[in-house]
Amino acid sequence: MKFIDEYRDPKLARSLVAEITATVTRPWVLMEICGGQTHTLMRYGIDELLPPMLELVHGPGCPVCVTPLETVDRAIAIAAIPGLIFVSYGDMLRVPGSTSDLFRVKAEGADIRIAYSPMDAVAIARQNPERQVVFFAVGFETTAPANSMAVWQAARECLKNFSILVSHVLVPPAVRLLLGFPQNRVQGFIAPGHVCAVMGYTEYEDLARDFHVPFVVGGFEPLDLLEAILMLVRQLEQGSAVVENQYVRSVTREGNAAARARMFEVFEIGDRKWRGIGPIAASGYRLRHEYAAFDAERRFPLPIASIDEPAECIAATVLQGLAKPLECPAFGTRCTPQSPLGAPMVSSEGACAAYYNFRRTL
Ligand code: SF4
């Protein structure tokens, strides 16, 4: 398949692995920040091809996984309002809330629809003027431009029945937090290519300078990740700590200024709670005052209690790169994709789902 096979070429992969092996002289711990990258690494067994001195740990870059329990509970409560249409990306539906999930609420009769774009939700609102339509706007910086576009379009059309439940988080503040932990072991990062396609990578330059840690902006195909790993180990072996861009076919240092302009017309930066990590200052987006009418949290001010995570689930340490899914005692037994205890087991970007699908020993 053109534009895909080139990035999965086994011969090139073998030569990159050989180059990595020849470069590494000491143990290094690397983190791929994005869950999509984790899935590629697991699917293609890339971690198993690397020299034993290189350890890969998995980062918090799974937006579904870090959506707080209270927000999932709020989504479930809103979706259950009679007559309302709740629209969401598919992988949010099985994320467990404190007592239920969106799939269960749908089975009980709620009108919950899966969308591939927030503009689908705007179209549903247009077609159903007598019903309230709420879109579950979950994601990192990557999906924020499209979600802001949906709000902007709804405002332009004066749609009074459309709102979004915002759960947008930002990568750099979370990485800064991880780097500040005394128990942090990560020495180099593969930065998320899709986030940087929007935001550019100047924020990672600040992190590289402040913590003397190298970053390589990486793509999502096997050769992208092998090349990013090679670039990182070259920097580490040389004592360098700068930001390099492996994903040049999609990312520039400045990112997509037009997308950001629309995004910041609708959203502003605010504090956010991360599931498994806790509150992080200035780590998310919220709707600007001018667009408050499109805020589902204001439109449906339902009381939601703050609930503790199931004690058995170690997603907090998995999301911080401090543990691997196989270290969780519930993995594959009491926690499976069919019966998940935590979000990382159901999200298509969750580390536990990656291990379950590609690394499970039966
Ligand atoms: S395997 Fe399940 S219970 Fe364990 S950390 Fe992952 S999501 Fe949580």
In this predicted model, what pLDDT tens digit does every residue of 243-289 receive, in sequence order?
A: 999 999 999 999 999 999 999 999 999 999 998 788 999 999 999 99
Q: Report the C-alpha gap between 102 and 110 in whole angstroms.
A: 9
> What pLDDT is recorded for position 33?
95
> What pLDDT is recorded for position 270?
96
User: What is the pLDDT averaged over residues 96-110?
Assistant: 94
178 CB less than 6 Å from ligand 1?
Answer: no
> What pLDDT is recorded for position 189?
98
Residues 205-215: pLDDT tens digits? Answer: 999 999 999 99
Distance 269 CA to ligand 1 centre (A): 30
> What pLDDT is recorded for position 275?
85
> What pLDDT is recorded for position 6?
85
Going by their DSSP bridges, the two strands 215-218 and 111-114 should be labelled as unpaired
**Residue having the nearest C-alpha atom to atom 7 of ligand 1:** 342
345 CB less than 6 Å from ligand 1?
Answer: yes
Q: Are 296 and 167 in contact (CB under 8 A)?
A: no
Among 71-75, 202-206, 257-261, 303-307, name the one with the lowest average pLDDT: 303-307
Mean pLDDT, the chain, rounded, equals 94
Closest to 96 in 3D by CA, of 63, 70, 131: 70
Could you tell me the two tokens for 164?
A: 């979004």
Confidence of residue 240 (pLDDT cuts 50, 70, 90): very high
Bridge partner residues of 162 (DSSP): 133
User: What is the pLDDT averaged over residues 112-131?
Assistant: 97
**Residue having the nearest C-alpha atom to atom 3 of ligand 1:** 313
Residues 323-337: pLDDT tens digits? Answer: 999 999 999 999 999
> What pLDDT is recorded for position 1?
60
